[in-house]
């Protein structure tokens, strides 16, 4: 396969990018935790625990409800009791670090989609206070992340909308498609994780990048050759995977 995917004729479409190990190298949660520690918003013990949890979470590739609950609780637990202004202030540290982790291949894909006239969006379980400014810093159309409920400027530890993970990502892009008059059958989605199979299955052009262990097992089973940064698969692949 050539370095770049063949892009369909431009239409009412967009490209959706997962964040960790897809758009960036490594974990955004670890970067956020380091910034929180430097700003005295997180003790060292929590930093170490969250760093290990985030790494295992991405490597395992699990997508069951227990793992979704674990990821949700980790994110909401980090912001519970914090002032929204304090979390937003972490962007001074977080955004430049994440921009330095953007994969060169991802930058090229963003450019190609923009040249084709498509909107580009980050879709991530990370807090929307981080996701939105990162997307804008990259010149993307927007970012969709997990939104925590805020009362009197303080996070309650509860969700304000769907958890942007697994099926929650499908809800998010479906709502966006409704508002922006997008045709999901013409849209692209990029992810490394088996947890994003719902989002990959919801679009006409699902693309697997840097697959996690579970996804990698299937790719090696289906294709004996060495794959590079990204490969596009049709819906039959995803359906066979989900029913295994």
Active site residues: 18, 20
DSSP state for residue 31 in the 8-state scheme: H
Which residues touch 160 (CB under 8 Å, ≥6 apart)? Answer: 147, 148, 149, 150
Place of tokens 């958890």: 163
Q: What is d(CA 20, CA 126) in angstroms, rounded to the nearest whole number?
A: 9
Cβ of 244: how many Cβ atoms within 10 Å? 9
Tokens describing residue 234 = 């049709």
Q: What is d(CA 199, CA 179) in angstroms, rounded to the nearest whole number?
A: 18
Q: What is d(CA 204, CA 198) in angstroms, rounded to the nearest whole number?
A: 12
DSSP state for residue 124 in the 8-state scheme: E
């Amino acid at each position: 396969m050539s370095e770049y995917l063949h892009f369909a004729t431009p239409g009412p479409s967009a490209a959706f990018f997962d964040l960790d190990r897809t758009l960036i190298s490594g974990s955004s949660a670890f970067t956020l935790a380091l910034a929180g520690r430097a700003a005295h918003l997180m003790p060292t013990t929590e930093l170490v625990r969250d760093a290990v949890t985030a790494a295992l979470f991405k490597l395992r590739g699990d997508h069951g409800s227990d793992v979704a609950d674990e990821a949700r609780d980790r994110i909401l637990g980090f912001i519970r009791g914090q002032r929204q202004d304090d979390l937003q202030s972490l962007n001074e540290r977080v955004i430049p670090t994440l921009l330095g982790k953007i994969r060169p291949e991802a930058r090229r894909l963003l450019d190609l989609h923009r040249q084709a006239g498509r909107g580009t969006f980050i879709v991530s379980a990370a807090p929307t206070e981080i996701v939105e400014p990162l997307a804008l810093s990259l010149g993307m159309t927007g970012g969709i992340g997990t939104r925590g409920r805020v009362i009197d400027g303080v996070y309650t530890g509860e969700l304000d909308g769907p958890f942007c993970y697994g099926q929650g990502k499908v809800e998010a892009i479906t709502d966006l498609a409704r508002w922006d008059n997008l045709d999901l059958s013409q849209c692209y989605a990029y992810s490394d994780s088996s947890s994003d199979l719902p989002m990959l299955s919801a679009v006409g052009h699902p693309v697997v990048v840097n697959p996690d262990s579970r996804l990698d097992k299937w790719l090696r089973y289906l294709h004996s050759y060495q794959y590079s940064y990204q490969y596009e698969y049709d819906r039959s692949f995803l359906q066979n995977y989900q029913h295994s």
